Structure 1
Amino acid sequence: MNENFFSRIIESASVSGSKIFMVEHAGKTYTYNDLLNITSIFSEHLHNLGVEPGDRVAAQINKSPHGFLLYLAVLRVGGIFVPLNTAYTPKEVDYFLCDCKPAIFFCSAAKAVENKKAIDAHVRLGSVIFNDSGECATLLADVIHEELAPPVVRDGSDVAIIIYTSGTTGQPKGAMLTHANLTSNAQALTKAWMFDDSDVLLHALPIFHAHGLFISTHCVLLSGSKMIFLEKFDTTTVMENIPQSTVMMGVPTFYTRLLAAPGFDKELTRRMRLFISGSAPLLEESSQQFYERTGHVILERYGMTESAIITSNPYNLERKIGSVGLPIEGVQVRITAESGDSVAVGDVGSIEIKGPAVMKGYWNKPEKTAEEFTRDGWFKTGDLGRLDEEGYLYISGRGKDLVISGGYNVYPKEVELVIDAIPEVQESAVIGVPHPDFGEAVVAVVVPGEKSDTIAENVIAVCKENLAGYKVPKAVKVVAELPRNAMGKVLKAHLRAEHTSLFI
């Protein structure tokens, strides 16, 4: 049996046939037959370019139908897809390309120029260009064979995707997700969220992130439903498309912006059956306001790059505001103390998980992989939480000081390394504080090494040169010294408390 995840897509698409699979922002439609034909063409060209099973194919491209179909074609040809955030700077891209050594790098003409040095050094077959319309001439050329290319045979344990997560040491890690990981999570979520072929998903997420690339789209693919594929989240455009949709997946920022819009009410959302929020904590106040305005309780779920979705509030049973729900099918969750023993119900501890969607490991980092798993095989999420009597999970905090801004993960250490390299900075501490739009905002607390009236502006400027935009501090606070405990550790909780009202 071929365990290539694309084989599951073929099963569904073959049944759906001429049914519309995707409607892009300008109104152009793609059927399931189109999906099969285009991915066949793309996969044949990938093979002709020299991509072999197991090769990495990196892509730093704007969201488009063909960009998404490239992802599916890479799976079909047996390659490993490596999506990269379009906001990454050349310095960041150089690290990723050096680490994963892709066969090909798909990007825009501008990205090909600014990343030329890294491409020449690390990419075996060079770059291939996606134009401003989101299409790639190389992949659209005529094919020699008329028959659809069958998906390359893959084992369930073979890696399908590598998605990079920021590292607590400043060095990003590539989470390896296998074909079996994708299959198990997609099947569990399609069932849990009750997708069927009558659904229409409103897709406004980026596709360089697990949420937009496969958590949302795989439910559509396996159920034979349709999605409205928007270029990005825009409040007006989303509201125009809600009456034609039944499901929306988003980050908290999406919902706070909708709540701020006149006309967002029960009448507008009457055809919707489900709103789902993830990738960042949803404020209970926002959830309550959403219910009062629309009559919908947003379904919160909990996931991470290393395992896709872990828990979800149930579709038909009680959705507890403030909770991220129950473990999905096949997943186990436990809460442990520092000793490793399980804590009592209701007590806060470290969240550990086990299940068929937990990653194979971190690319090229066996020691780091080993560190993140317990001796009995549970993955340490790095998050803190508690379980109630009914098994619902509540996230209490993050043990690794992770900041989630606008749905994107920012590890303070990565930003601190950039700031601390500035000559006029003695040391820094990066924290996340509440923000009404982004959920959390990145804030840098800086101790100057020398007197400077422009240190805050310089910190921002240097961060913009070296980091993706969402990692750049929204504010810089200059202090004489950082608060520390008796062991010399910076008290980031103290800093967060001190600056918690900075934006609200």
Structure 2
Amino acid sequence: MNIANILPDSAARYGDRPALSDAQGTTVSFSEFHDRVRRLSGWLQSDIGLQPGDRIAIFMENRMAYPEIMLATWYAGLVVVPVNAKLHPREFLHIADGSGTSVAFVSSKTMPALDDAEDQPSCSFINVDKAEYQQCFEARPANLVEREADDLAWLFYTSGTTGKPKGAMQSHRNLYAMLDGFLNRVKRVEPGQGVYHGAPMSHGGGYYILPFLARGGCQIIPPSGGFDVEELCNILSSYPSVSFFAAPTMVKRLLDRPDLLNQSAIAGLDCIIYGGGPMYLSDLERAHQILGYKLVQIYGQGECPMTITVLDAAAHRDTDHPDYRKRLSSAGQAHAGIELRIADPTGNELVTGETGEILVRGNAVMLGYWNNPEATSKTLTRDGWLHTGDVGHLDKDGFLYLTDRSKDVIISGGTNIYPREVEEVLLQHPAVREVSVIGAPDSDWGERVVACVATEDGLPCSTDNLSQFCAKQLARFKLPKEYRFFEELPKNATGKILKTALRDRVGEIEESGNV
């Protein structure tokens, strides 16, 4: 059950169709792609001497080489260790050495920082921009190495927003479950359709190589190696039927450029699959107005990749349903083969409508954390339930409503306050561009509510103004006690706002006496 089996099947079916494009006229057909994967797989096995289960790191921006390295690694029965190209060399070292990586594929953008690092990982490097990489393809083509369903395939290190990243072990079974979930509930892929890779392939973007590869779609990998609105709009105007995965901040950046988002670009857009953070209702309704009903929401995490729930296209366009707007604020319904339950702190299941931790079970759930049995035992129960660390509730129709990360819940005077509820209100204010609500230590209440705000340029905004605005929509105990204004809110490499960093900044401001 090797996930790489989708490649020879697609090569046989779609041979001369384009499998990869650099959006500048260079394409690679399915047949050519299959041959390159087989040769690189042969080099990894014969020239390097790697054995099934050995780990290969990919530390680079999105490149044409990325999918072929991924597939060649699996073809040889090896394990992919994706590493975000924006990480510091120290963070790469933690991942490479912690995972026991044998070989790391890098680019000319990521290699210089590694050369200058004080400490060096024990793995060897192959720079895809050098002749050494092309020489790998002189190896004899290899046959696919079969694997068992629960053999490790993808070792994904969590973003580390709450501490050191942990390696979530995803098997071939997990990846097939993600693939099936995408094709059955997220989007039907037709031959010739494109997937634009603006989101890092080291995260959600990497998973979405698979469904388009399996169904004859073309991977469109932009020259920038990342998300650029002008580049995206040019691609949408040039290619028919393009989809892409995006964090909500990326969708907002697209909507904020009406000068680029013309009718030709909108016509070329097939579907935006969004996730990785909350899409606020106001932004979603604006997207519908500008783009039409071309959005699908997915909810997942590194421990259950992209495959917990889906708010499908039908739910986005079902405007006549009496619960339409309410459902737009949900994360959708569970994928087929996924069980959901809401539990209290002791693990007991709660009734419909009650708020608690979201637990998940199914074929998409990880095997555990790499070399970390303690963290695994805290996250996975013996009967297979994954503690997501997210808080939410289910309605009578099985729609999941995410409230917050359990660690982000603010407990003030013994009462739970969910930051997202406050954030939703503040984002309705025209001067608020971004907001993140956090809890700060308070001697009287335990914690107090602090709103960290980035404002729209040129629009007046003050503490009094926001306080009055919130007071019209929120219970008094939920109102922010403080407002902190920032030019930009800190984000991690995937665009998620870093609440931990905000807590640190607010703490530093208070310690300095600038309150």
TM-score, L = length of structure 1: 0.77
Amino acid at match of 2:205: G
Quote the Cα distance in structure 1 between the aligned partners of 2:155 and 2:133: 24
Q: Residue 277 of structure 1: CA displacement?
A: 0.6
Amino acid at match of 1:118: Q
Amino acid at match of 2:40: F
- The answer to whether the 8 Å contact 1:287/1:297 transfers is no
- The residue aligned with 2:128 is 130
Quote the Cα distance in structure 1 between the aligned partners of 2:336 and 2:189: 15
Quote the Cα distance in structure 2 between the aligned partners of 1:343 and 1:262: 45
- The residue aligned with 1:269 is 266
Identity across the alignment (%): 26
Deviations along 1:225-278, one digit per CA (max 9) or x if unpaired, are: 123222211111111122324222211112111111124366631343322111
Q: 1:143 aligns with which of 131, 135, 138?
A: 138
- The residue aligned with 1:213 is 206
- The answer to whether the 8 Å contact 2:43/2:137 transfers is no
Gaps of 5+ in 1: 405-409, 413-428, 438-459, 483-498, 500-504
Amino acid at match of 1:129: N
Deviations along 1:448-483, one digit per CA (max 9) or x if unpaired, are: xxxxxxxxxxxx9xx99xx9797695793334469x
Amino acid at match of 1:32: F
In the alignment, structure 1 residue 227 sits paired with structure 2 residue 223:
no
- The residue aligned with 1:292 is 289
Q: Residue 62 of structure 1: CA displacement?
A: 2.4
Q: Residue 44 of structure 1: CA displacement?
A: 1.2
Matches within 5 A, 1:421-432: none
- The answer to whether the 8 Å contact 2:18/2:27 transfers is yes
CA RMSD of aligned residues (A): 3.3
TM-score, L = length of structure 2: 0.75
Q: Residue 205 of structure 1: CA displacement?
A: 1.4
Q: 2:330 aligns with which of 323, 333, 339?
A: 323
Q: Residue 407 of structure 2 aligns to a residue in which SS? A: coil
Q: 1:152 aligns with which of 133, 140, 145?
A: 145
Matches within 5 A, 1:15-414: 15-47=13-45, 48-108=47-107, 109-115=111-117, 117-119=119-121, 122-123=122-123, 126-131=124-129, 137-141=132-136, 143-145=138-140, 148-167=141-160, 170-192=163-185, 193-209=187-203, 211-214=204-207, 216-230=208-222, 231-243=225-237, 244-246=239-241, 247-263=243-259, 264=261, 268-296=265-293, 298-309=295-306, 310-317=308-315, 320-401=327-408
Cα–Cα, structure 1 residues 250 and 234, in superposed 2: closer, same or farther, change >3 Å?
same
Deviations along 1:387-419, one digit per CA (max 9) or x if unpaired, are: 112111111100133999xxxxx9x9xxxxxxx
Quote the Cα distance in structure 1 between the aligned partners of 2:265 and 2:63: 27
- The answer to whether the 8 Å contact 1:21/1:30 transfers is yes
Quote the Cα distance in structure 2 between the aligned partners of 1:469 and 1:154: 31
Q: Residue 285 of structure 1: CA displacement?
A: 0.6
Deviations along 1:317-372, one digit per CA (max 9) or x if unpaired, are: 55631111111121111111223222222221110101101111100001210110
Amino acid at match of 1:223: R
Q: Residue 104 of structure 2 aligns to a residue in which SS? A: strand
- The residue aligned with 2:469 is none
Amino acid at match of 1:39: V
Deviations along 1:111-135, one digit per CA (max 9) or x if unpaired, are: 441347322xx32xx222232xxx6
- The answer to whether the 8 Å contact 1:87/1:469 transfers is no
- The answer to whether the 8 Å contact 1:201/1:227 transfers is yes
Gaps of 5+ in 2: 318-326, 410-418, 421-435, 439-447, 457-487
Q: Residue 435 of structure 1: CA displacement?
A: 5.3
Quote the Cα distance in structure 1 between the aligned partners of 2:74 and 2:230: 34
- The answer to whether the 8 Å contact 1:335/1:352 transfers is yes
Deviations along 1:74-103, one digit per CA (max 9) or x if unpaired, are: 111111111111122122122112211111
Tell me the matched-pair count: 424
Quote the Cα distance in structure 1 between the aligned partners of 2:298 and 2:176: 19
